[in-house]
Amino acid sequence: MNEYHVILGEQAQQEALGLPSAAFKELTDRLTTLSHAPWSNTRPDESGHDPAMRWALFGDWGMVHCYVDDRMRVVRVHRVTWAG
């Protein structure tokens, strides 16, 4: 099975840089799972407007907001949120 390429947008990159080292490791682990199976490792955004808009948890306090593009085999990460 072909993996998806995970791309962090500019805002997500900046947010990821501010994470504590343990949280950054948890984020990279989650992004790896998203590259293998983004649909089964995410949940739909509550807006319900576009099923490709998804979110996933990482660690105890983190959330990733992303868009799954099946045609391009890409997961575009828009936001990384850390509440810890």
Query: What ranges do the domains of the chain cover?
Result: 5-82
**Quick one: pLDDT at residue 47?**
80
**Quick one: pLDDT at residue 77?**
98
**Quick one: pLDDT at residue 46?**
85
d(CA 40, CA 43): 8
**Quick one: pLDDT at residue 1?**
60
**Quick one: pLDDT at residue 13?**
97
Amino acid at the residue 22: A
Q: Buried b vs exposed e over 35-55: b needs ≥16 C-beta within 10 Å?
A: beebeebbeebeeeeeebbbb
d(CA 84, CA 69): 30
Q: Which residues of the chain have pLDDT under 50?
A: none
The whole-model pTM stands at 0.91
For 5-82, CATH gives 3.30.2310.20
